[in-house]
Structures are given as structure tokens and as C-alpha cells.
Amino acid sequence: MSRRPRIAFLAGLAPYPPPLIGSSLRISRLLRELHEEFDIALLCLSDVSTSAIVENWELGKQLTRVVAIPRPAPLGKRDALWGSIPVSASAAIVTSLPGQRPRMFDWAWSEQLVDATRQALHELDIDAVWATRLWTAEMARAAGARRIIVDVDDFHGDAMVKALAEGEPFKRKLLHRIQAKNLVRYERRLLSRFSAIAICKAEDAALVETNGSERLHVVPNGVDFPETVDRNHASPAELLFVGTLSWEPNIEAIRQLVDEILPAMLDACPTTRLTVAGRSPTPDEVRLLTSRPNVELHESPVSLGEYYSRATIGVAPLLHGGGTSIKVLESLAYALPTVVTPVAARGLGLEDKKHLLVASSNREFAAACLHLLNNPAEARALGDAGRQEVLRRFSWQAAGARARAAVHSVLDR
């Protein structure tokens, strides 16, 4: 009997323990879906031990191999962006040369992970590598892998160039601009380095030189759907924000909610409350913001179902951030009427006023939330329509089918 194909799955995060942030949730669900057809060796950077993942994670014992390697120590003065000026200058020069990987990836570089990958390639007769993020794909190359599918959740080069153009001057700015331009060039030429690319949203295809190549695959994010949804027991006037508490775009969003949006709503609806739920660690600023009246913080809840079920409106006032927002998909999966900014809606293909409400300013955001509170029938219809659209387009099973097709396309070649 012929064996199943074997793939090494390289990740910068572990799929355990819960609660999972967006990136680790994608890793966990794609591992589950890929395991339907492939034997998998998981090699990841994690502060959780290998034994803890194998023994406690539902899929751990079924994988061919699990290796969890501690995260590398901070680079300090050796960091390509924020280290010493000579190091930053050297990184700018080196990454200007053809064929070089961006040195800004070094912050996550682990020779232990490279060695573990090399060992797995040799001992397990690995057929292909699925690498989440560009730096793990580069570590797979360093280990000698040849068939590599790189899962690019977001492209950072263009965003970095734009941020530097709009930002204030600083000492290393010129060196950062050189590295950013080199990153754009590197990202555009990914298909010259890797066998295939998986992207989260179709519009990211414009950022890669494909020349009509079939090696570019859209593997969208998905969501875990509750089997039943009951919106009859929601708390009155409760807003819910979900997100990793230490991620800067989420901190910025919480700040907008507490300083601008919630006060504007309280003037018209004094019973409005804000619940913030997400994975710790929790920065002091978030603790201070959520200690205010009418605001409640829940750190690292095992499940978010209770909070989605009891909320009146889901809110995602993100001003920055990449990829596609799983928190928006989760909110809609619970038929929760949801208000977002254009950044939070990016790449989802959801329609304003049909599946959710999109607001471009804090004033518009508060007004949209108040409109839903004052029009419960319209809010319920919006939540139901959002859930149906997410059910139709954003299941992990559908994303998994696309991921498996990407692997098969590499194996077939």
C-alpha cells in the first residue's frame, strides 16, 4: 500500500494552548484540514513544551512528529531595523543585493528550527513543506527544502513604504526606507524562491509577479461556526471587542472605543457598556483604559462563545493591521450585528449595510452603533445576513480544500 504524502508544517506560533489569536487559529485549523490527506510533522516556535502540545492538543498525538522550539531571544543591537546604526546600514546594503532574504526577518530566526527541519527532511522523507510566514519559509530553504508552499497572511512591504513616507523623521529613516523598498521587491518575486504561494485575499495577487502562474493560491481565513445561535438573550446595549490585548492595532482600537466612541454613545444611551475580551499579556495601558466606568475586561477566556452570545453589537474600529480580520468573521458567525472600519472589513468582500456596517470615523462609528440599538429589527436582519454570508464563504473546510489543492499542485509538479 502506498503511503500518504508527508509534509513538514513550519510555524512561528504553536496551535496550543487556547485561547488562540488569529494567526495561531489559522495554523491550528489548516493543520487539521491538511491532516485529512497528508501525514504531518509540525515544527514550530513556542514557549509551550513539545510534550504539552502532544498530550493536551486534540491533534497532537495524530501527527507524525511535533517539535516545539523556544522562541529566539531578542536581537537587541543586532536587530536589522532598531539595532545599532551600523547593523541597520549593513542590513540595508545586504538586502539590496539580488537573491538575499530581508534581514528584518532575523528577529524570528532560529537555527534550532532550521536544524529540526533539516532532520525531519532527512528522517521522514518529507515530500513538501507548508511554511506560515515568510521567515519560516526562508528557514525551510536554509534547511534544504525544495518544495515549499509559503502561506503569506499579509504583505508588509507596501505598507511599510507608505508608513515611512507619512511618518515623522528619525535617525534610521533612510536605512528603513531602503529596507522597505527591498522588502517590496522581495515580496514581488516570491515565486522565484518558493514553489507556491497561499494568500488570504485575492487582491494580494497584485503584489506578486505571477505572469499568469498557477502557483498562486487563495486560501482564505475561516471561522468556527456555533451549531445554534440564539440572539434572544443578548444584554441590552453591550458592545463587544475581541482581540489580542498586546497587539498595537488592537490597543489603538480599544483607545478609540474608550476615549471617543463610548462617550459619544453614552450621551444618547447611558446604559451602553463595552466588553473587551482577548488573549493576555495585558499591557498597562489596556488595564487603565478598561478600568473606566461602563467598561469590562476579560483576559484569556477559554471560549468566546458566551461573550458573542450575550453582546448586542460586535465592534472592530481598527485603524491599522494586516491580513483579514477573523474577529469580524467570528462576530458574524454568531449573527451578531457588527460595526467595523474599512481596515477591519478589508479583504472580506462583505457589503456595507447588507452584511455589516462600515464607519470611517469615530463619529460615524458611534452613530452606526446607536442606529442599531435604536432599530433592533434592522440589527437582527443585518446579523442574520452577515451569518449567512460567512457560512457560505468562510468555512475552514472550504479553506482546507484550497490548502490541500495547493499542496497537491506542488506534489504533482
Q: What is the pLDDT of residues 358-402, one digit of tens each?
A: 999 999 999 999 999 999 999 999 999 999 999 999 999 999 999
Do residues 214 and 251 share a domain? no
| 256 & 216 share domain | no
Both 181 and 294 in one domain: the answer is no
Report yes or no on 201 lying in a domain: yes
333 and 347 housed in the same domain: yes
55 falls within a domain: yes
Let me know: does 108 contact 135? Beta carbons within 8 Å.
yes
Determine the Cα–Cα distance for residues 79 and 206; give it in Å rounded to an integer.
30
Identify whether 315 is part of a domain.
yes
Any domain includes 227: no
Work out the angle at residue 66's Cα, subtended by the Cα atoms of residues 60 and 67, and round it to the nearest 5 degrees: 140
For 308-347, how does the pLDDT look when each residue is reduced to its tens digit (9 = 90+)?
999 999 999 999 876 678 899 999 999 999 999 999 998 8
- Tell me whether residue 229 is in a domain: no
Q: What's the CA gap between 337 and 334, in Å, rounded?
A: 9
Same domain, 215 and 243: no
Adjacency order of strands within the sheet including 6-11: 65-69, 39-45, 6-11, 128-132, 148-152, 196-199, 216-218
Using CA atoms, how far residue 184 sits from 107, 158, 207, 405, in Å, is 19, 6, 8, 27
- H-helix or E-strand containing 345? helix 342-345
280, 346: one domain: yes
Check whether residue 66 and residue 144 sit in a common domain.
Answer: yes
Tell me how many domains the chain contains: 2
Of the candidates 183, 140, 136, 191, the residue with the CA atom closest to the CA atom of residue 162: 183
Domain of 80, in residue numbers: 6-222+396-412
Shared-domain flag, residues 198 and 258: no
1 pLDDT higher than 60:
no
Q: Residue 122 domain-assigned?
A: yes
Residue 193 lies in a domain: yes
Q: Are residues 377 and 405 in the same domain?
A: no
pTM of the complete model: 0.86
Question: Is the model's pLDDT at 52 over the cut of 70?
Answer: yes
- Greatest CA separation for the chain: 71
For residues 204 and 280, membership in a common domain is answered with no
My answer on whether 179 and 300 are in the same domain is: no
Strand partners, 152: 199
> What cell was used for 401?
480544500
- 252 SS3 class: helix
Q: Which three cell numbers stand for residue 350?
A: 462583505
Specify the pLDDT at position 323.
67
Split at pLDDT 50, 70, 90, the class of 279 is confident
Could you tell me the CATH number of the domain that includes residue 334? Answer: 3.40.50.2000
- Reply yes or no on whether the pLDDT at 157 is more than 70: yes
Instruction: Give the whole-angstrom CA distance, residue 132 versus residue 101.
Output: 16
Instruction: Give 388-402 as a DSSP string.
Output: HHHHHH-BHHHHHHH
Decide the pairing of beta strands 6-11 and 128-132: parallel
Residues with Cβ < 8 Å from 85, sequence gap 6 or more? Answer: 171, 172, 175
Give the mean pLDDT of 18-33.
89
Ordered strands of the 357-358 beta sheet: 295-299, 273-278, 238-242, 313-316, 338-340, 357-358
Residues 193-222: what's their mean pLDDT? 91
pLDDT for the residue numbered 148: 98
Q: For residue 22, what pLDDT is reported?
A: 80
Q: Are strands 313-316 and 238-242 parallel, antiparallel or unpaired?
A: parallel
Cα–Cα distance, 352 to 1 (Å, whole number): 53
Out of 34-38, 174-178, 230-234, pick the least confident: 230-234
How far from 200 is each of 64, 203, 218, 322, CA to CA, in Å? Answer: 27, 9, 6, 10
Alpha-carbon distance values, 216 to 127, 194, 313 (Å): 19, 11, 37
- Residue 230 resides in a domain: no
